[in-house]
Amino acid sequence: MILADKIIRLRKKNGWSQEELAEKVQVSRQAVSKWEGAQTVPDLEKILALGRLFGVTTDYLLKDEIEDEEFTDDADRAPVKRVSLALANEFLEWRKRAAARIAAATLLCIVAVIPLLLLGAAVETTDLGVYDTFVAVAGLILLFLFVAVAVALFVSVGLQNAPFAFLDREPFETEYGVDGMVREKQKAYRPTYVRCDVVAACLCVLSPIPLFVSLVTKNEFLTVVLLTVTLLVAGVGAALFILSGVRWASMRKLLKEGAYALQDRKKRRIKDAVSTVYWLTATAVYLGWSFLTNDWKLTWVVWPIAGVLSAVVECLFNLFMDKENGTDEP
Going by the DSSP 8-state scheme, the letter that residue 330 receives in this structure is -
Higher pLDDT, 139 or 76: 139
**Mean pLDDT value across residues 126-146:** 74
- Where are the CATH 1.10.260.40 domain residues in the chain? 2-62
Q: Measured between alpha carbons, how far is residue 55 from residues 2, 68, 96, 170 in Å?
A: 18, 13, 35, 17
CA–centroid distance for 227 within its chain: 29
pLDDT band at 182 (very low <50, low <70, confident <90, very high): very high
User: Is the pLDDT confidence value at 64 over 70?
Assistant: no
pLDDT tens per residue, range 19-36: 878 877 888 888 888 888
Strand partners, 44: none
What CATH number belongs to 2-62? 1.10.260.40
The confidence band for 139, taking pLDDT boundaries of 50, 70 and 90, is confident
Mean pLDDT of 275-281: 78
Percent of the chain at pLDDT > 70 equals 78
Which one is predicted more confidently, 128 or 234? 234
Per the CB < 8 A criterion, the answer to whether 50 and 57 are in contact is no
pLDDT at 7 > cutoff 90: no
Q: Is the pLDDT of residue 261 over 70?
A: no
Query: Which value, to the nearest 10 degrees, does the dihedral of the CA atoms of residues 73, 79, 84, 87 take?
Result: -150
- Tell me, what's the pLDDT at 280? 78
**DSSP assignment, residue 17?**
-
φ, ψ of residue 164 to 5 degrees: the values are -110, 10
Backbone region of residue 238 per phi and psi (left: phi > 0; alpha: psi in -120 to 50; beta: other values): alpha
Give the whole-angstrom CA distance, residue 238 versus residue 198.
12
Q: What is the pLDDT of residue 307?
A: 67
Check: CB of residue 117 under 8 Å from CB of residue 207.
no
Is residue 88 predicted with pLDDT exceeding 70?
yes
Q: What is the Cα 254 distance to its own chain's centre?
A: 13
Give 201-241 pLDDT, tens digit per residue: 898 888 888 878 877 777 778 888 888 898 899 889 889 99
Mean pLDDT score of the chain: 79
Residue 80 has pLDDT above 70, yes or no: no
